[in-house]
Amino acid sequence: MTLFFVGEIVSGDVIQRTDKHTGQITEYLTVNVMMRMVTKQGKPKIYAEDITLPMDYKDLIDRSVGKYIVIPYQYFTTKDKSFLFVDEKYQVIILDKNPFEPTAQSKKAA
């Protein structure tokens, strides 16, 4: 199953991981993504995640701080566990505005 994580890009930071067996250093991009929502009772909620992406996305993330990102995830379950991974078959999508903010044309569902 493919799921999508949506939120505002707060920052992007390069992290390094060292392989314990080989000593090889690998760099990744950690993107801090935040989503502000309002509950049905009108209470504000803020959710934030640090998501690891390949370094190929560094320039895009650096140019897109303050914009919204849609990140595809692959979700699957086994007998014992559930797994969630960034699905690299798809590109991330950058949006100028929060896609969940109501617009003047939006109508409340009946």
Q: What residues does each domain of the chain span?
A: 2-95
DSSP, residue by residue, 72-99: EEEEEE-SS-EEEEE-TTS--EEESS-T
Q: What is the mean pLDDT of the chain?
A: 89
List the end-to-end C-alpha distance of the chain, in Å, as a whole number: 29
Given pLDDT bands bounded at 50, 70 and 90, which one contains residue 71?
A: very high
What is the number of other CB atoms lying within 10 angstroms of the CB of residue 25? Answer: 9
Residue-wise pLDDT for 12-36, tens only, equals: 999 999 999 999 999 999 999 999 8
Structure tokens, 109 = 């569902």
Query: Rounded to two decimals, what is the model's pTM?
Result: 0.79
Given pLDDT bands bounded at 50, 70 and 90, which one contains residue 110?
A: low
CATH number assigned to the domain with residue range 2-95, chosen from the 4 options 2.40.50.140, 3.40.190.10, 3.40.50.300, 3.30.70.260:
2.40.50.140
Residue-wise pLDDT for 73-108, tens only, equals: 898 899 899 888 888 888 899 999 988 887 766 556
